Structure 1
């Protein structure tokens, strides 16, 4: 058919209009999918106008140390991502965030490099999308890629200029503009969608923790340029900026065209080097934002890009953090950082953090509950202060029980042994837990999940046992295991009317041929995935069927890593003479132990043998009779027989202590008379475990007397201006805290007789120094008094009856630094010496105003009660 030029022109106009119309419709549809921030600063979904709730994790496998660790172990990174993303689904995470290592995917002028790092990142996003997860991406990290290893030479602009220069140098700024433009336009080859158009990307945060130090107008100009480079792509998603650093520049941030601000929270500081003890709920009582009443801030969206209770191994704290975030108006939060399973046994990525479903099951379940808190609690609702706020909505936390719970008619999730009974067990649809509850009894130390698929049909998933064999927050190395997993068979009892007493248990994950009928609700179980059906019920669903965001027969867990005997037992620092005492140990063996025995020395030169009884899981115990718990040195060994080999601890020597050629050293506990003084702090042994802000002018100095030392603390200024919060309240105080709860656990019988608190030490700099000593109880109440310490080393005492309520300092100091310095409980309890667990030592209280600017120094040798 011949077409003349006029018809061709009309045809081209029609086609052009049609394409334009489709483009407009597509853009409109896309725009309606994007999250927007309303006039009240609430993020809402474009299509439904519903409030955004999202909760999840940071996870770094495509980059830096995580990437290199997998390569060194010849691990498939795609398979590793698949495995961990499945666990994200089991934990209910629906959000992912990461600061992309721009140094690995860009060149020095900001061009995107389509390399393996970016390919893996795109693959991971696709796999997360398949599980229903959303994203908040931070394109610029500014970090080099080395930590904790030496830095590598990388091609990016951040490598060339460094973080500080990236914020001020014109060529570096141009490189970032170019990079951001290309990053948002990058098309994920696994989805075929550019990041700017991906409906599952909620928002972009420009960069990670920029730490601006310039004048406000320059900061505004810098951020505005970043925003414009991103908006130039046509991206309609909210653009966020970190506003929790350099908060004196808050207005400069709000004036730069951003739609939201990002925050982080490390309420227990970072890098303690050991697991923290004591009640840290006061540290997470409230997330107070200094500029919360700023009208500009009220119009911006609010999210948390990183949070963690660092160096805490317990499971009670995350839901309380989520509650405080919701009270502050925060809609999105991501924990930092989830350890890739292939390296979680050594925890080398960030040794101050530890999170993994397999290796840290109780913490992971706590994070699962925190996610539910984020999705269910209303914004800005206040639940009071600790300890009144330990119950909120469907949630409870308990420091004393190391327990977090979510209890509704349909869900029952718990992180530790619990006696809580669900209000309507017959209506339950989901159970997830660790340990024993009225619904499930289980001796294993892994997490389990029980989900109702249909009437009388449940899916059970049991993960292998996890045991921490070293402090995961210490000095870590690929050559040092901090945790092991063990595949063991344990009895499990499930008490659900929907299943009855004699339900059927069938393995459904790959290679799992297990089949058994429960007897009286109890059956033996090993790690895997199972279909449970009531006695007269037939499952109508295929084991391979899709259910929610998983397949029924999915299961991911590393194989057993217990290749030797682990006997975990820390002898008491001291023990009071008592009538009887129970000794406990955790014993992990490749196969069940044949015998665990204590070889203990009494009056004779040969040890006596006492069998230890299996209590539950890997716990063994024996009660020592009175004849062994006498004043003197209690010396004993623990011998474990497994596979016809006996290994004796603490030296891990093969053989028994009664053998003629045995050469191991025993555990030793000093046993003292009941009226002996109880030492709460000794500088020679305890100084390294103090929670305090680092001082260059502080050191531990040995004394002439063997085994004695003093901690010298010289405070040049009691108040230092915080460059991140230049308008902070002026507080003249330097405080330290020491948790002694474990140290004195064998001496508690002597606490009720204590009458005074005794300090031994001296003042430095030839000037007397006022010092406040306070005893902190388990509920966060602090009672103390001030002494004036002279320049000569001697003892000073305060009668316990004279102690007054004093301010509790939140230690370790939270980050960001604008968070409250002091904690005030909702109710004041009377002082109870039997409830004390920590010591607070403060320089500042009692010092005259005229002397606050002076240098103050103290040397601490010991603190005791007697």
Structure 2
């Protein structure tokens, strides 16, 4: 079998000042139907991107923890915005805390300078901005709560007084006038006249007072008048989603549109969520309230917090268009230099390099905003998983755009473009009918001309920790590893044998594909059907990206690591496949899994089983049934390189079969009989991973505590619903726990299970508990099946036969 050409490329980081970029300088207006349009061609505006917070607050400090050059960070991050096809950005600026004094006078400092620089760089990349100059919340959250040095009026007055106290309002008016009159030294244009900023959001998440209609209108008008007093003609927006009762005040005010935010999976779970959340983004009915009828809509913040899926962003963008939104900004983009640690915002995580599946879904979501019509609904889940040229699939954790001109996919997919010969843009994570790729990074293919394509490949993003746990500057959660991987490109105009040419100074043809297959390392390449390409014939830019522009992450220098991916239980009498993620920059010669009965049980020696690579960094070993009898087991994994050995999880420099092996750590699993009951919920272990119905604006916090059973002495789960002074209490409250991972290895025997057993007691009258197994959320029937327990008094074991379950949605 012919061996594919191996291409190695050392890529230089190039910070280009684009001379011929499609600069963001178009003007907008609102038509008589409340639709924002471009003045030059009268087409509807539709913009998508993210909040970017580097100039102030926690992201500013995060860059400092790593001693990074903040302006260089802006350069590379704005290039990534453009590379993702984004054309929107929210300027989330804590000027009320960090770039003003207590009376609202603008301070010329590093924060303001970085804001100016960001505006200039974003403008050069064709990015339009929503300016949000007053944040209200403390800029010292969450890592600098003891810092009391912020000079601004936001610190002086606090959020609660901003909309009602005369001095606080006067400070806001003063500040708005000064910052809008401020001339950006990098562009020579005052912010009030900057066309790349068509929208102003007066205040971020204000403390609404809907009970005071006249006072609310007066406050909004006062801030709007401050903007207009500078001669600024930008479109003025005001937040509605903090309390939708403020809608009538906005309608009566001088504000021209509304902003709203959406976090359908809650905030700050403290760990990565599991399960299918697509049903939660079917619709956003509050944005269709009649009082908002002809007001333009902007999504100032959105995310699916604590998730890294490839499905949620396109589905959310579909709903944004269904309620008429014309601008949407995810919160908040992780800077390339800090994204390996998710150092900025714990519950949010998005970066082109470090979250490639999620980033690719954000690329697709931008196209959803650009291509779907406003105010069209696509029905409820799961019917709405196919909308226009877009698809989302929970089963495979992928989304895709399959259009004539573009084929984009977040996750390996069997979806196919209607006409491969018509494609001009391909981008993906995983493999497809056009690109087969073994690596775990994102890649882009852009057509330059017939028979010539630009290929851009990023390093593998390999998770080594939960990014949604509390962050630290010295804790890496995702590694970016540059490895050589095979890639096959199947495009009609390239054919089966094409030149693969690295884009470097004086670059030359270094290899040809064989049947479309070649081996590639991260970097930028030209693929040509007719041989080497003269670099002088190549365009300076592809869209808003420089042709040679490439911003790789810092080189990975960490030691090897191994993560167990095994289930907690396996069946006796069956072969068991045990998996792990083996993370190292250069593959070991071999990996061996060693397993034995847990000492103290039946005892025994470790037995080794060679692991094989499944794909990427995933390895597996098959342990035969003859080795696995009922009981507890422990196992370790040894990486072998020549005569050197490294055994995990203890990182011991020996192997378990050595006479002097002294590794202290191991992973555990149980081997059980098919008749052994499967425990679905253990309070002491599972309570911290429950997801709850959101009550108010405090995220999805659990209203529970753990106690100890007077019978068993083991932890019990205590849940009490709140009751306010008026006697109000939620009509229902839901706690959910994904259990797919723990039942996967027991799937063979689940069909024979005949009941659910719950041990519980009620603490008051009329107690009703519904236990629902959601077996079909991702399938056409939706919902699952539910069992009901009523009037619970005293501890008792409640059993519900499966045959008595009822359909649940």
Q: Calculate the TM-score normalised by the size of structure 1.
A: 0.85
Q: CA deviation at 1:634?
A: 3.0
The structural deviation recorded for 1:633 is 1.9
SS in 1 for 2:427: strand
**Secondary structure at the counterpart of residue 312 of structure 1:** coil
Residue from 76, 83, 87 that aligns with 1:83: 76
Equivalent residue, structure 1, for 2:222: 225
d(CA) in 2 for partners of 1:764 and 1:695?
21
Q: Give, in whole Å, the separation in 2 of the partners of 1:720 and 1:316.
A: 41
Matched, 1:62 2:64: no
**Which secondary structure state, in structure 1, belongs to the residue aligned with residue 285 of structure 2?**
coil
- State whether residues 591 and 642 of structure 1, in contact with CA within 8 Å, keep that contact through their aligned partners in structure 2: no
Does the 8 Å CA contact 2:566/2:579 hold for their aligned counterparts?
no
Select the residue among 102, 105, 108 that pairs with 1:108: 102
Whether contact under 8 Å (1:96, 1:135) holds in the other structure is yes
Counterpart CA distance in 2 for 1:542 and 1:588 is 41
Contact 2:499 2:532 survives alignment (8 Å) = no
**1:697 deviation in Å?**
6.3
Query: Quick check: 1:631–1:672 contact (8 Å CA) kept in 2?
Result: yes
Could you list the per-position Cα deviations for residues 52-94 of structure 1 after superposition, in whole angstroms to 9, with x for gaps in the alignment? 1111110111112222232333321111111111111110010
Q: What is aligned with 2:19?
A: none
- 1:436 match: 431
Q: Please identify, of 660-669 and 689-698, the stretch whose mean Cα deviation from structure 2 is larger.
A: 689-698
1:641 aligns with 2:643: no
Q: Give distance in 2, aligned partners of 1:299 and 1:544.
A: 43
After superposition, give the CA deviation of every residue in 1:229-252 in whole Å (9 maximum; x if it has no partner): 111112222100001112222211
String of CA shifts for 1:430-450, please: whole Å, max 9, x gaps: 110112112111111110111
List gaps (5 residues or longer) in structure 2.
1-24, 695-699
From the superposition, tell whether residues 161 and 242 of structure 1 become closer, same or farther in structure 2 (CA, over 3 Å).
same
**For residue 92 of structure 2, what is the aligned residue in structure 1?**
99
Shift of 1:49: 2.2
Structure 1 residues 754, 68: closer, same or farther in 2, change over 3 A? same
- Contact 1:435/1:443 (8 A) holds in 2: yes
Larger mean CA deviation between 713-722 and 218-227 belongs to: 713-722
1:126 aligned residue (115, 120, 125): 120
In structure 2, what is the Cα distance between the partners aligned to 1:499 and 1:721?
Answer: 71
Asked whether the 8 Å contact 2:201–2:239 carries over to 1, the reply is yes
Match of 1:178? 174
Pair 1:348–1:704, CA change in 2 (3 A): farther
Q: CA separation of 1:721/1:58 partners in 2, compared to 1, >3 Å: closer, same or farther?
A: farther
1:500 match:
495
Are residues 452 and 792 of structure 1, via their aligned partners in 2, closer, same or farther at CA, if it must alter by over 3 Å? Answer: same
* Alignment match, 1:626: 625
Whole-Å Cα distance in 1 between the matches of residues 377 and 575 of structure 2? Answer: 47
> For 2:756 and 2:227, how far apart are their aligned partners in 1?
62
Structure 1, residues 472-496: CA drift from partner, whole Å, max 9, x if none?
1112211211111111111111111
Residues 543 and 654 of structure 1: CA distance in aligned 2, closer, same or farther (over 3 Å)? farther
Q: Which residue of 1 aligns with 2:787?
A: 785
Structure 1 residues 513, 745: closer, same or farther in 2, change over 3 A? farther
Q: Distance between the aligned counterparts of 1:367 and 1:447, measured in 2?
A: 12
- RMSD, matched Cα: 2.2
Aligned length: 766
Give the C-alpha shift of residue 536 in structure 1: 5.1
> Which residue of 2 is the match for residue 448 of structure 1?
443
Structure 2 distance, partners of 1:532, 1:43, is: 40
1:356-371 correspondence runs (5 A): 356-371=351-366
Determine the structure 1 residue equivalent to 2:10. none
Deviations 1:644-695 (A, max 9, x none): 4311122222210011221223322111111222221111211111112567
Contact 1:509-1:555 at 8 Å conserved across structures? no
Distance in 2 (alpha carbons) for counterparts of 1:581 and 1:237: 63
Are 1:206 and 2:202 an aligned pair? Answer: yes
How much has 1:698 moved relative to structure 2?
2.5
What residue number does 1:247 align with?
244
Report the Cα distance in structure 1 between the residues aligned to 2:673 and 2:543, rounded to whole angstroms: 62
How far apart are the structure 2 equivalents of 1:671 and 1:64? 50
Contact 2:483 / 2:521 at 8 angstroms: preserved in 1?
A: yes
- Asked if 1:710 corresponds to 2:716, the answer is yes
Partner Cα separation in structure 2 for residue 85 and residue 511 of structure 1:
27
Residue deviations 1:330-389, cap 9 Å, x none?
111001010011111111211101000110011100000000000000001111110001
Larger radius of gyration between Structure 1 and Structure 2? 1
**1:840 paired residue number:** none
What corresponds to 1:611 in structure 2?
610
State the shift of 1:544 in Å. Answer: 7.2
1:566 aligns with 2:572: no
Q: Distance in 1 between matches of 2:361 and 2:77?
A: 17
Query: Cα distance, 1:547 vs. partner?
Result: 2.9
* Structure 1 pair 437–143 and aligned structure 2 pair: CA distance change class (3 A): same
Match of 2:140 in 1: 146
Q: Is the 8 A contact 1:358 1:464 kept in 2?
A: yes
Displacement of 1:805: 2.5
Q: What SS does structure 2 have at the residue aligned with 1:515? A: coil
CA contact (8 A) 1:34 1:237 kept: no
Instruction: Give unmatched runs, 5+ long, in structure 1.
Output: 1-31, 723-729, 808-866
Q: For residue 314 of structure 1, report the CA deviation from its aligned partner.
A: 1.4
2:321 aligned to which of 303, 322, 326: 326
Cα deviation, 1:702-742, whole Å, max 9, x if unaligned, reads 336778210111224399999xxxxxxx9611221111111
Distance of 1:771 and 1:677 partners within structure 2: 22
